[in-house]
Amino acid sequence: MAENVQHAIAQKKDEPAGANEWEPKIIGFLCNWCSYAGADLCGVSRYQYPTNVRAVRVMCSTRISPHIVLELFTAGADGILVGGCHLNDCHYITGNFYTEKRLRLMKKLLEDAGIEPQRLRLEWVSASEGEKFSKIVTEFTEQVKKLGPSKVKKDAALKTRASAADGASQTFRLRALVGKELGLEKTGNVYGQKLDQTELEKLIDAATKDEFERSLILELSKQKARSVKELGQIMDVPTDKVLRHIVVLRQKNMIAMEHPDGLTPTYKAIEIGGEQ
């Protein structure tokens, strides 16, 4: 009895502190036809959940490009929830299959950038799964709380890496690869060869890493002209690999070489007129 009372008092004491406790900011992209409707039903059924998710309605989860998600993480979002219809139930027939592929790329880029991929979550919620929606939001909010506030705002180096991931997500190569991924698996390439999913994923992952590193070189050399050695040290990438990336970026006219001291060449990103 006495213990219970003490416990209750202890809890009470915690409350004011609890009120000022950090609350994560979570964006929820919900598709109009299933997950948004599921969230509506959740409300109608009065299932309660934490107040952290701010929903943005989109017609289909397939609308969410990697760029949108990565820019929001760069801007300091603590978590992002993407909600779509169950596979094969998409209002737009195949939309969510593409969402699935894109989410994989986003997570890979988050990992490369050093942001916990667990901050991004994809869930299928049908219009009839009100209770499921409340469970997902509760669980995801807990998960994000455990991860703590996004470090992007306080850590400039991490922010640079996040921007680089965002940049990589907008490159022709990655967008084209992920856009064609499903088609290559299901209907095959122009020669009618169907590609194996694991092989294709390996290929995409390698391309993702390359594009991320190139994008990071651009981000870093936007700040100031840097030498290959310096870039390699900051990025923790072998200098020969950095140089290879720089060769590609120079071919694309995205980076320029400078000789400030007449000895070590340094590189600076060309901000306008870059052709991808």
Partner 1 sequence: MADTIKVDPKDKPRIGVFVCHCGTNIGGFVDVKSVAEYAKTLPDVIYATDNLYTCAEDGLVSIREGIRKHNLNRIIVASCTPRTHAPLFQATCESAGLNKYLFTFVNIREHCSWVHMKEREKGTTKARDLIRMGVARARLLIPQEEQRVDVEPSGVVIGGGVAGMTAALSLADMGFPVHLVEREAELGGFVKNLNNLYVTEKSATDTIKPLIEKTKAHKNVKLHLGSQMKSVEGFIGNYEIVIGAKGAEDIKAKVGTIIVATGALEYVPEGLYGYNQYPNVVTLTEFEILCKKKALPKMKNVAIIQCAGSRGQVKTYCSRVCCNVAIKNAINIVDNYDNMLGLAEQLGTVIEKVPVEQKVPEEIIERRRRRRGRERGEEGEADEVKLGPSEKIEVTVFNRDIMAYGVEHELTYNKAREKRVKFVRYTTDHLPRVYMEGNQLTVGYFHETLKLERTMPVDMVILSTPLVAQPDAGDLSQMLKVPLGQEGFFLEAHVKLRPVDFATDGIFVCGTCRGPADITEAVTQASAAASRAAIPMAKGYVQAEALTSVVDENKCSGCGTCIQVCPYGALRKSEKGLAEVIVAACKGCGCCGATCPEGAITMTNYTDAQLLAEAKAALQEEV
- Nearest distance in Å: CB 238, partner 1: 29
- Nearest distance in Å: CB 236, partner 1: 29
Start-to-end Cα distance in the chain: 71
Cβ atoms 61, 123 nearer than 8 A: no
The pairing of beta strand 226-227 with beta strand 266-269: antiparallel
Query: If you search the block for the tokens 């919900």, which residue do you land on?
Result: 30
Query: If you search the block for the tokens 């979550």, which residue do you land on?
Result: 121
Neighbouring residues of 216: CB distance < 8 A, sequence distance ≥ 6: 160, 161, 164, 235
Given 107, 109, 122, 134, the residue binding partner 1 (CB under 8 A): 134
Cβ closer to partner 1: 47 or 201?
47
Interaction with partner 1 in 164-203: which residues (CB under 8 A)? Answer: 170, 172-173, 175-176, 178-180, 182-183
Neighbouring residues of 197: CB distance < 8 A, sequence distance ≥ 6: 185
Partner residues linked to 27 by β-bridges: 54, 80
Binding-site residue total for partner 1 (CB under 8 A)?
A: 56
DSSP 8-state code for residue 141:
H
Compute φ and ψ for 24, nearest 5 degrees.
Answer: -65, 150
Cβ closer to partner 1: 57 or 154?
57
CB atoms within 10 A of CB 63: 16
Interaction with partner 1 in 38-97: which residues (CB under 8 A)? Answer: 39-44, 46-49, 51, 54-60, 62-68, 71-72, 75-77, 88, 91-95
- Nearest distance in Å: CB 204, partner 1: 14
Asked if residue 143 binds partner 1 (CB under 8 A), the reply is: no
- Nearest distance in Å: CB 137, partner 1: 9
Radius of gyration of the chain from its Cα atoms, rounded to whole angstroms: 23
Asked if residue 36 binds partner 1 (CB under 8 A), the reply is: yes
Summarize as ranges the residues that interact with partner 1 (CB under 8 A): 23, 25, 27, 29, 32, 36-37, 39-44, 46-49, 51, 54-60, 62-68, 71-72, 75-77, 88, 91-95, 98, 102, 134, 170, 172-173, 175-176, 178-180, 182-183
